Chains A and B, each alone.
Chain A
Amino acid sequence: MGSFQFYKPKGVEDLLKMKAELGERGLILAGGSNLLVYIRNGIINEGTFLDVKNLKPLKGIDTSNGKITIGAGETIREILESAKLREKIPFFPDSMKEFANPLIRSKATIGGNAADASPAADTAPPLLVLDTETVIGSHRGERVIPIKEFFKGPKKTALKPDEVLLRFQFSVPEAGKGVFLKFGLRNGTAVSVTSLAAWLALDGGKAVDIRIALGGVAPTPVRAINAESALKGQKLNEESILTLSEEVEKDLRPISDVRGSTEYRKDLTVELLRRALRKLSGTEAAL
């Protein structure tokens, strides 16, 4: 076990000052569900915990002014149980049902899950389909970047060593609904083999707003732009869903690993997309 210190910042300014001073050695401790595992496994063996768990400015869910703002320090459980979010966009809290298990959900935060930048991060596909913006802070000030530019590679984000992820913001789409589907090897706790979030608005049976995001099939969570453009404007029925869903293969750069081969992930993603589209277009019952 290496050498660790612990510090509880008094506010955001204090936190950002500490982060500027410590850089990579400043270990943001929110839920700790990744950080403590990295320490246990020897991946991180020194640094100063910056405990942001109860730091007010990183908490809170605001749904006023037509925009949704979620503090990076909100736990998955708080999001799942948020009545305000459920009223405005049930898709978002519902998608958190798939996240690990109740023990982890009580601790893990949405900011921690995103900043950990696992290609299979379960908050990523829902954040991606909503065109979420991330608000990043440092002693130099705040900057806002789209979530798709936030993820840079496996375990890599746009965060500089002196920066901290503060909050997420997105607008509720004008029409439509969303769904998040996850395929893991175990019901509780499993890392996703493949996950998929989709948002669909239909007009006269045609997909007028279609957004698809994928987890676990590329170096970062990604938007499936090929599948989106193939589906946009199309009438959705069982036949078109069956064939057009195959377009999603062009969006994949899957790896083979202990959880599944490249081929398996491809087939799985196509199937997840079909299921999502059936569900969102209401054609599921006809099967």
Chain B
Amino acid sequence: MHEYKKSFSITVRVNGNEYKDRVPSHMTLLQFLKERLHFLGTKEGCSIGECGACTVIMDGKAVTSCLVLAVEADGSSIRTIEGEAKNGELTPLQKAFIEHGAVQCGFCTPGMIMSAQNLLDRNPHPSREDIVEAISGNLCRCTGYEQIIQAVQSVANGATKQNNLVGVKSVGGGGDTEGGQPGGKVSEHNSKSKTGGTL
């Protein structure tokens, strides 16, 4: 009779740093990231792979971390939202999300950015269809997706920050400029925290 282990020692690289821990067999990667390593940017939504809020990049592939066991991640390299901004500087994609009003409540944002970034890493100039396909596993209940798609497109087209800022607010970010929604200027501050996973 074999001896089956109930807990395992694992080594996982997260955002370039190595972490060692002992985890129970049934702990998910999502639980490991949040509860053991305290990477709170990755969100738990449905926990059954339907919503994409917990999306991380595992060995170069975007996956829902609620459907990965922590033991399965042993030896793998994980990218979470916390690893995107470098030295306090948001990535072009994170900036584009803010500029395009692609962040509202912010709950889907970390997962959405990981899916979109994974697409851009593989294909720097995706078509609109490629973008829609790439984020089809990520639910957003606020934006209606259009602003998110525009944000990804703007990065793909290499549009500059300033150029977009003016044009886009009148298209997608009505809430900010027309005062139609509470939040006003505060929302940009919020957006930065949300895109960076620090809320």
- Report yes or no: A7 in contact with B137, Cβ–Cβ below 8 A: no
How many chain A residues touch B (Cβ–Cβ < 8 Å)? 33
Q: Verify if A100 is at the interface (C-beta below 8 Å from B).
A: yes
In chain A between 172 and 188, which residues have their CB closer than 8 angstroms to a CB of chain B?
A: 187-188
- Report yes or no: A7 in contact with B28, Cβ–Cβ below 8 A: no
- Report yes or no: B24 in contact with A106, Cβ–Cβ below 8 A: no
A-contacting 9-mer, from B14-22, B61-69, B82-90, B162-170: B61-69
In chain B between 17 and 39, which residues have their CB closer than 8 angstroms to a CB of chain A?
A: 24-26, 28
Q: Verify if A40 is at the interface (C-beta below 8 Å from B).
A: yes
Q: Please, how many angstroms separate the alpha-carbon atoms of A106 and B49 in the complex?
A: 12
Q: Please, how many angstroms separate the alpha-carbon atoms of A154 and B167 in the complex?
A: 53
With A102-B136, A104-B137 known to touch, is A6 a contact of B8 (CB < 8 Å)? Answer: yes
Contact residues in A for B146 (Cβ distance below 8 Å): none
B-contacting 9-mer, from A46-54, A140-148, A203-211: A46-54
With A21-B1, A37-B49, A49-B25 known to touch, is A101 a contact of B137 (CB < 8 Å)? Answer: yes
Q: Please, how many angstroms separate the alpha-carbon atoms of A41 and B24 in the complex?
A: 18
- Report yes or no: A48 in contact with B69, Cβ–Cβ below 8 A: no
With A3-B6, A6-B8, A51-B72 known to touch, is A40 a contact of B136 (CB < 8 Å)? Answer: no
State which of A102, A104, A106 has its C-beta within 8 Å of the C-beta of B133. Answer: A102
How many chain B residues touch A (Cβ–Cβ < 8 Å)? 32
State which of A39, A106, A189 has its C-beta within 8 Å of the C-beta of B136. Answer: A189
Contact residues in A for B2 (Cβ distance below 8 Å): 7, 18, 21
Shortest C-beta distance, A66 to chain B (Å), equals 32
With A1-B26, A49-B25, A188-B136 known to touch, is A103 a contact of B4 (CB < 8 Å)? Answer: no
With A21-B1, A51-B72, A188-B136 known to touch, is A103 a contact of B25 (CB < 8 Å)? Answer: no
Shortest C-beta distance, B48 to chain A (Å), equals 5
Q: Verify if B190 is at the interface (C-beta below 8 Å from A).
A: no
- Report yes or no: A53 in contact with B136, Cβ–Cβ below 8 A: no
With A4-B24, A6-B25 known to touch, is A187 a contact of B136 (CB < 8 Å)? Answer: yes
Q: Please, how many angstroms separate the alpha-carbon atoms of A73 and B154 in the complex?
A: 38
With A5-B4, A53-B72, A101-B137 known to touch, is A189 a contact of B50 (CB < 8 Å)? Answer: yes
Contact residues in A for B55 (Cβ distance below 8 Å): 103
Contact residues in B for A102 (Cβ distance below 8 Å): 62, 115, 133-134, 136-137
Q: Please, how many angstroms separate the alpha-carbon atoms of A40 and B45 in the complex?
A: 13
Residue of A nearest to B6 (CB): A5
Q: Which residue among A21, A51, A100, A104 has the maximum number of chain B CB atoms within 10 Å of its CB?
A: A104
Q: Is the interface of A mostly helix, strand, loop or mixed?
A: mixed
Contact residues in B for A103 (Cβ distance below 8 Å): 49, 52, 55, 62-64, 115, 137-138
State which of B28, B69, B133 has its C-beta within 8 Å of the C-beta of A29. Answer: B69
Q: Verify if A171 is at the interface (C-beta below 8 Å from B).
A: no
Contact residues in A for B25 (Cβ distance below 8 Å): 4-6, 49
Contact residues in B for A5 (Cβ distance below 8 Å): 4-6, 25
In chain A between 40 and 88, which residues have their CB closer than 8 angstroms to a CB of chain B?
A: 40-41, 48-49, 51, 53, 77
- Report yes or no: B48 in contact with A32, Cβ–Cβ below 8 A: no
Contact residues in B for A7 (Cβ distance below 8 Å): 2, 4-5
Q: Verify if B47 is at the interface (C-beta below 8 Å from A).
A: yes
- Report yes or no: B47 in contact with A40, Cβ–Cβ below 8 A: yes
Contact residues in A for B64 (Cβ distance below 8 Å): 103-104, 107
Known: A6-B4, A40-B47. 15 other contacts (CB 8 A): A1-B26, A4-B25, A5-B6, A6-B6, A6-B25, A32-B68, A33-B49, A41-B48, A51-B71, A51-B72, A77-B61, A102-B136, A106-B61, A106-B62, A107-B68
Nearest 3 CB-CB pairings of A with B: A101-B137, A188-B136, A5-B4
